[in-house]
Amino acid sequence: MRVGREGNLVLFVVDASGSMAARARMSIVTTAVLALLVDAYQRRDRIGMITFRGSGADVVLPPTSSVEAGAARLRALPTGGRTPLAAGLTRAAQVLRAERRRDPARRALLVVVTDGRATAGDDPLPVAAALRRTAGPTTHAHTGSGARGHGGTAGAAGGRGGLASIVVDCESGPLRLGLAGRLAAALGALTLPLDALPGVHPRRSS
């Protein structure tokens, strides 16, 4: 991942349900988070992470610029159980509101890592649509290659303090339901395959 000169918030919302597949997701995401944190202090960025599993969602890494805090908190994350996707999005909305109060000018990039299936809790699509409506003006996010939906840029040109969203589609196997794409449409987000995650970074205005 790469970030630019101005401070950003990058908030990951990660499906931690299941077992082996969840551990693989966690390995890829935590590597990406720690890579961002290496440069976060100099770039004034804050990186956070939420996981959802079982019956709820947890802020496993409150937004920070400390690589030491990230390494300590992400060392061993629990996985397994059902998939309360709506709970993860609801918790993300809470964190984004708190960060916006803390620094209204900071741009945010929301990265949701999921196959779009919800096996517990509320329907995630209305929650995603509400999050999109209340997020404020959007900004840009570069995604490198592999993006589907808006030509490699998440969101539209917007003012300071906006939100861009990306859904990283973890669906695999011969039978695919395309639920991550529906979630992305509700969020106004791009969709990316999991292996494209390291190419995601926010775009800063000049």
DSSP H helices in 16-166: 20-43, 67-73, 85-102, 124-134
Please name which of 81, 83, 84, 64 lies closest in space to residue 72, comparing C-alpha atoms. 64
Q: How many CB atoms lie within 10 A of CB 184?
A: 26
CATH match for 8-203 among 3.80.10.10, 3.10.20.340, 3.40.50.300, 3.40.50.410: 3.40.50.410
Question: What per-residue confidence (pLDDT) applies to 142?
Answer: 52
Question: What per-residue confidence (pLDDT) applies to 141?
Answer: 52
Tokens matching residue 46: 């804050």
Q: Is the pLDDT of residue 126 over 80?
A: yes
Mean pLDDT of 156-171: 68
Mean pLDDT of 22-44: 85
Report the share of the chain in percent with pLDDT over 90. 38
| pLDDT tens figures, 55-96 | 899 999 999 999 999 999 998 888 889 889 999 999 999 999
Question: What per-residue confidence (pLDDT) applies to 152?
Answer: 44
Question: What per-residue confidence (pLDDT) applies to 200?
Answer: 67
Q: Is the pLDDT of residue 18 over 70?
A: yes
Annotated domain spans of the chain: 8-203
Residue 56 vs residue 25, higher pLDDT: 56
Which residues on adjacent β-strands are paired with residue 24? Answer: none
